[in-house]
Amino acid sequence: MSVVTVRNLPEETHRALKLRAAQHGRSTEAEIREILEDAVRPRTRVRIGSELAAFGQSFEGLDFNDTRDQTPTDPAVFE
């Protein structure tokens, strides 16, 4: 695992981190790891399918069946 050192952290911030860690029942170091993890890797990922569905729903009243060509296609020939 990597090691990160934070220098010149204000004493007030350090006390707040210690208090927060105690409230969550973990060490200050574990609390800082959790804060960093939450900051860079959110628990809820944006899923591309959900985003595309939401984008499509933003065009209310658009019916692709009305705009689609209903003419039957010729079958493929594989000879």
pLDDT averaged over 10-residue windows placed end to end, the chain, 79 residues:
93 97 97 93 81 81 68 88
Eight-state DSSP code of residue 8: S
Nearest to 3 by CA among 23, 41, 29: 29
Looking at residue 64, its pLDDT comes to 65
* Global pTM value: 0.55
* Helices 28-40 and 11-23, axial angle in degrees (round to 10): 90
Architecture of domain 11-56: Orthogonal Bundle (1.10)
Contact 18, 28 (CB under 8 A): yes
Locate the DSSP E strands across the chain: none
Domain boundaries along the sequence of the chain: 11-56
